[in-house]
């Protein structure tokens, strides 16, 4: 009997059940899609560096990812002389920002090396001469290119010699050129990103690995699949999507609790009858939990399908098809369904407990919708007409509270992300504009700030411009230090003005090579003091100063001399950024435009607006928009469910209002105002939740300082618009439903 009641109870309220399933499904879809995209990105990056049949890969030891590794090409000849080594081939891999594809991977390969066998040609032929290029199947489709056609990369024209397919989306969405062409293109002459190695005696792999690392302490040799810092970094991509999606599932889960709770309220008499005929409390709990679990399971299954569809749909976009090509594992689906069912159980516990506590006699006496019959019709009408929208919301405080919490979680998560993004943008702007810098110069079309490369010749030419007062060269790199997986190092010339931005509290500032000034937070974490020695990316430095700038990502890093940083990150004759001071600050915009016209390979902007041009922050903004859209979708469904339940339970009231002359637009207005009020309160709760989340993140030792959110006016405006849209979207259908109730039928509603 309980099983039949579970199914019939869900079927009797089809609209509510459907909306609850949709709310859960959207959350689960977010988990599946984001997890699959994270898995795809991680797997793609791994396969780029392990797809050849190499026995070992040799790269820079302390590079956070192989993408940032730089190794002297001449070392290959010495490695080949090690007994047991059969062949060594070098490769360069980097990211190019294209107009329609922000992250386009270009690989430079030795065209005579064994690694070329990885690129299976499906059209055309191999690279035979300079400025020829192979493009992946996905890239050929995205750019509508065929064999023999011209292909432009950052102003350089190449001829498509062939089209290849590897089965790895990152590679198939990119291009391959000769190693020599890549070295010229990326200005990495006599350097490679890594070496692929074959050995003729597999039993000597470990011995060869140890010999390489002993002879070249700055290098690391790894087997395919061996754990590295890059593996740890890519593991973050895998988990990122799952934890991002959890918030969407929580919103849907609380919406389900709301729906189940309302079901208990509506069926108070029914539960009283069941208790009166002998049902034990445990049996009532099983019935209510059963409904919740079934809805959660169905929502989970639907969500898995929707998530799969969303991930596949993303592949249709040329701009992201290679970077965001989802990969699926059994774990993703199991975790998503497990999370959904767990939330179904949790969201049903309180309603089930509440139902089991109902006393049979009191439950059977409970009214359906109207107050007790002793109230006269005129008194009832007067009470209804005086009822404001806010009073209607608090008639069911538990339901209103759960709705506020569920929508507030989604809004809060979005608000927290917006605050963090604004904080990161502000920190970068403050760092670059500190001192006398009026303009920032970065490599044009750099896909990432750490990949920006500007020739010192360009710096000297800009310095010679008549409107330029001074130029500070900056090398910006991320490496590791003992105990710190992410360690930002700035390379500065002690003779240039940028060094003055570092507020040295102990010791002195930089004077010569081999010295480092350490941020206070980094010094505390590493337990370092003045005079101590420390290793950065394999090189040894002595700490001559400890600074406090008040900017977290600076105070958790270090500054070394420009020449040391260029050696450390293999940027001889190159820098990452330029800080430019002008004679007349009011001419900043005009000078920026002039410099961009004169130097085609750089991007110039004022310190206050430069982040608007950077691809890093454009990507972050896209992520914020996606999260806002997800919040609006899931929150809108939860809101609609809550408002529909409000309409159902007040059917007789609405019928009475219609009977005494209320027009449809008045009913619509009443319900829409309720929805807007509910969404407004949810927004206020969300802001509090978002601030609380960021405060908790700020407590993380050392790296909590990176989460230094800034809440500016535009963020509050965006959140206000978001919650207002939620209120409108969530109340339109319930308002239409309420307005179209026929008075006579509504008054007879039970």
Q: How far apart are CA 215 and CA 735, in angstroms?
A: 76
More confident residue, 675 or 547: 547
Segment 183-203 mean pLDDT: 86
Instruction: List all residues 6 or more positions away from 568 whose beta carbon is below 8 Å from its beta carbon.
Output: 477, 479, 489, 491, 536, 537, 539, 560
> CA gyration radius for the chain?
32
Segment 140-164 mean pLDDT: 89
552, 450 contact by CB (below 8 A): no
Q: How far apart are CA 106 and CA 91, in angstroms?
A: 11
Q: How far apart are CA 508 and CA 523, in angstroms?
A: 15
Q: How far apart are CA 398 and CA 261, in angstroms?
A: 8
Q: How far apart are CA 170 and CA 137, in angstroms?
A: 11
* Residue 190 pLDDT grade (very low, low, confident, very high; cuts 50, 70, 90): confident
Percent of the chain with pLDDT over 90: 10
Instruction: List all residues 6 or more positions away from 493 whose beta carbon is below 8 Å from its beta carbon.
Output: 472, 473, 499, 561, 562
Give the angle 170-174-177 at the CA atoms, nearest 5°: 130
pLDDT for residue 381 is more than 50: no
If you ran DSSP here, which 8-state letter would residue 370 be given?
A: S
pLDDT for residue 707 is more than 80: no
Cα torsion through 477, 480, 482, 488, rounded to 10: 30
pLDDT in tens, 57-90: 888 876 666 777 788 888 989 998 888 888 899 9
If you ran DSSP here, which 8-state letter would residue 698 be given?
A: T
What are the structural domain ranges in the chain?
A: 1-51+233-366, 55-223, 369-427+609-750, 438-606
User: Which range, 265-269, 685-689, 727-731, has the best average confidence (pLDDT)?
Assistant: 685-689
pTM above 0.75, yes or no: no
Q: How far apart are CA 415 and CA 710, in angstroms?
A: 11
pLDDT for residue 488 is more than 80: yes
339, 246 contact by CB (below 8 A): yes
Dig out the tokens for 351 from the structure: 């309603």
More confident residue, 701 or 526: 526
Burial 312-343 (b: 16+ CB within 10 A, else e): eebbeebbbbbbbbbbbeeebbebbbebbbeb
Instruction: List all residues 6 or more positions away from 685 whose beta carbon is below 8 Å from its beta carbon.
Output: 404, 405, 407, 408, 411, 412
Query: How many CB atoms within 10 Å of residue 469?
Result: 15
* Residue 380 pLDDT grade (very low, low, confident, very high; cuts 50, 70, 90): very low
User: Which range, 35-44, 270-279, 660-669, has the best average confidence (pLDDT)?
Assistant: 660-669
Predicted pLDDT at 261? 64
If you ran DSSP here, which 8-state letter would residue 225 be given?
A: T
Predicted pLDDT at 45? 63
Q: How far apart are CA 419 and CA 139, in angstroms?
A: 36
Element of type H or E holding 639: helix 615-649
Percent of the chain with pLDDT over 70: 75
Predicted pLDDT at 508? 92
pLDDT for residue 486 is more than 60: yes
Predicted pLDDT at 546? 94
């Amino acid at each position: 009997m309980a099983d039949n009641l579970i199914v019939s109870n869900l079927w009797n309220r089809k609209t509510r059940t459907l909306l609850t399933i949709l709310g859960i499904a959207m959350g689960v879809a977010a988990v599946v899609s984001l997890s699959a995209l994270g898995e795809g990105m991680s797997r793609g990056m791994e396969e780029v560096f392990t797809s050849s049949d190499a026995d070992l890969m040799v790269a820079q030891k302390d590079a956070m990812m192989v993408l940032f590794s730089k190794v002297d090409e001449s070392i290959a000849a010495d490695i080949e002389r090690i007994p047991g080594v059969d062949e060594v081939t070098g490769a360069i891999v980097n990211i190019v920002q294209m107009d329609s594809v922000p992250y386009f991977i270009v690989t430079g390969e030795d065209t005579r090396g064994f690694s070329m066998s990885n690129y299976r040609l499906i059209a055309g032929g191999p690279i035979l001469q300079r400025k020829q290029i192979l493009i992946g199947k996905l890239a050929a489709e995205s750019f509508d290119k065929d064999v023999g056609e011209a292909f432009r990369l950052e102003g350089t024209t190449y001829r498509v010699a062939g089209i290849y397919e590897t089965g790895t989306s990152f590679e198939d969405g990119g291009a391959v050129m000769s190693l020599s062409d890549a070295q010229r293109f990326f200005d990495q002459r006599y350097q490679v990103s890594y070496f692929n190695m074959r050995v003729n005696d597999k039993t000597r792999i470990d011995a060869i690995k140890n010999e390489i690392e002993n002879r070249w302490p700055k290098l690391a040799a790894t087997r395919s699949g061996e754990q590295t810092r890059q593996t740890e970094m890519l593991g973050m991509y895998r988990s990122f999507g799952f934890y991002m999606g959890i918030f969407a599932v929580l919103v849907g889960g609380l919406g389900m609790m709301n729906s189940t709770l309302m079901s208990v309220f509506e069926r108070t008499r029914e539960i009283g009858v069941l208790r009166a005929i002998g049902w034990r409390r445990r049996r009532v709990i099983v019935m209510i939990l059963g409904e919740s679990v079934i809805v959660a399971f169905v929502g989970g299954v639907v969500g898995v399908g929707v998530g799969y569809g969303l991930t596949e749909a993303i592949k249709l976009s040329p701009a992201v098809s290679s970077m965001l090509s989802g990969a699926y594992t059994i774990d993703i689906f199991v975790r998503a369904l497990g999370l959904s069912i767990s939330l179904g159980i949790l969201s049903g516990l309180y309603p089930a407990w509440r139902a089991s506590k109902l006393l049979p006699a009191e439950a059977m006496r409970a009214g359906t919708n109207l107050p007790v019959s002793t109230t006269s019709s005129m008194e009832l009408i007067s009470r209804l007409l005086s009822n404001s929208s806010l009073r209607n919301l608090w008639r069911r405080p538990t339901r209103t509270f759960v709705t506020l919490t569920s929508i507030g979680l989604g809004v809060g998560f979005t608000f927290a992300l917006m605050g963090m993004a604004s904080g990161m943008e502000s920190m970068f702007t403050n760092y670059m504009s500190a001192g006398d810098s009026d303009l920032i110069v970065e490599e044009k079309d750099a896909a990432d700030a750490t990949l920006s490369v500007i020739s010192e010749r360009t710096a000297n030419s800009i310095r010679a411009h008549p409107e330029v007062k001074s130029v500070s060269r900056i090398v910006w790199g991320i490496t590791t230090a003992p105990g710190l997986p992410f360690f930002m190092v700035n390379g500065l010339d002690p003779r240039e003005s940028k060094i003055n931005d570092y507020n040295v509290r102990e010791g002195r500032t930089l004077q010569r090579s081999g010295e480092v000034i350490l941020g206070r937070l980094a010094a505390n974490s590493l337990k370092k003091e003045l005079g101590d020695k420390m290793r950065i990316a394999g090189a040894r430095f002595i700490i001559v100063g400890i600074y406090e700038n008040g900017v977290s990502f600076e105070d958790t890093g270090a500054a070394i001399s420009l020449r040391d940083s260029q050696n450390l990150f293999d940027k001889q004759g190159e820098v990452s950024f330029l800080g430019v001071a002008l004679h007349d600050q009011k001419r900043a915009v005009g000078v920026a435009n002039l410099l961009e016209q004169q130097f085609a390979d750089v991007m110039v902007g004022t310190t206050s607006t430069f982040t608007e041009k950077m691809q890093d922050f454009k990507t972050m903004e896209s992520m914020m928009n996606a999260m806002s859209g997800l919040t609006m979708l899931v929150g809108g469904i939860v809101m609609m469910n809550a408002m529909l339940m409000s309409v159902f339970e007040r059917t007789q009231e609405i019928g009475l209002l219609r009977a005494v002359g209320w027009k449809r637009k008045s009913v619509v207005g009443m319900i829409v105002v309720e929805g807007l009020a509910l969404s407004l309160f949810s927004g206020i709760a969300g802001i509090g939740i978002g601030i609380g989340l960021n405060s908790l993140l700020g407590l993380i030792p050392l790296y909590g300082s990176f989460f230094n959110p800034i809440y500016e006016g535009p963020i509050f405006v965006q959140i206000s618009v978001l919650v207002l849209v939620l209120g409108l979207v969530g109340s339109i259908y319930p308002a239409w439903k309420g307005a179209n109730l026929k008075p006579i039928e509504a008054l007879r509603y039970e």
